[in-house]
Structure 1
Amino acid sequence: MSGGPARLTVLAGPTAVGKGTVSADVRRRYPWVWLSVSATTRPPRPGEVDGVHYLFVSPERFDAMVADGQLLEWAVVHGVHRYGTPRGPVEEHLAAGVPVLLEIDLQGARQVRATMPDARFVFLAPPSWDELVRRLVGRGTESEEERERRLATATVELAAEPEFDHVVVNDDVTRATDELLDLMGARVAPALPGRAG
């Protein structure tokens, strides 16, 4: 890989499957892969940093981004908050030949498939339904009502697995991350013009 446009990889899967954990592992071990930072109207969870984990924006700012065509995709998730992918940074990194990973929900993945059909679509699956429930309850970040809503959403999301090009089972974060990067062909740092480090 050198200078030519890179291929976008979209990672999606059910709630609580560990998309954020795998993405954080990519960020830590494969720093040359650029992770798109989603904009969201939901408040930060403990430990989340604006501009690193998400761009936390007001509903009004989100409305303006949608109206100005600044989002590659956006959706209302779990019937409450909106999430979206700023278009400009994704296109800039791909044009520069940088591997780009987009971690989004199912609705967003479908929108990206419609606008960027050449992207690589990877479904992150849990080892089992029971393990997915255990992870969601174990997070302790949602109320009982929110957990029930997320589990209902997860049932629908799991049924979408056949829509994806590849499936990676998140039974072990390191193994799942490596499998994802193998699919991207990005486990070795590309020689990019002007790349620091």
Structure 2
Amino acid sequence: MYYQAMTALAAILLASAASAGGLQRTVEAPVYVAPPAPSPLPEPQSPDWTGVYLGYSAGGVVGETSDDPQLSGEGPAMGFHVGVDRDFGDYVLGASVEHTPTDVNLDDVAKLSSISMLKVRGGLDLGGAMTYVTTGIGRAALDNGNTSGGGFYGGGVEAFVTEGLTIGLEVSRHDYRAFGDENPIKLGATSTQLRASFRF
């Protein structure tokens, strides 16, 4: 009888404690935190052609005269240039000054010793590369001291190798009016040159 009373009392106490929350456990649901969205990668920027450049060129010249005596010859041409470009987005305009010493032996009668040029050019901006046409005025000199003025036209392609260095290929046709007072000769020439330019 005593044992049953104690058992009933214990059951009542446990039920009271449970209802009061003494035996309740609160389990919180896990909270999911989404990871931050990755930042978008910046779009690559096309090189800007705007600026000053200077450089070196190496190649060859083929020359011929159109008057008697008819002479022809070819030889190396290595020179230097300095210029400036302005990038307008889809196209580029620029100007440069170039001096190119040559060694073109015209049938052992005369020798073309140098060509100097004042150039303008216009090109299509292709991003890291440019195709262009060029023209201007020039002066050619023979090894005997005679000089002649004239003009030229041509075209080429140029591309960035690094941020501050471009390389290119240019072909130009030159026409110079006359050399010498006695028996003057007219000279035509075609130059092909590889070019490297440091850009600032």
TM-score where L is the length of structure 2? 0.21
The structure that is helix-richer by fraction is 1
Bigger Rg, structure 1 or 2: 2
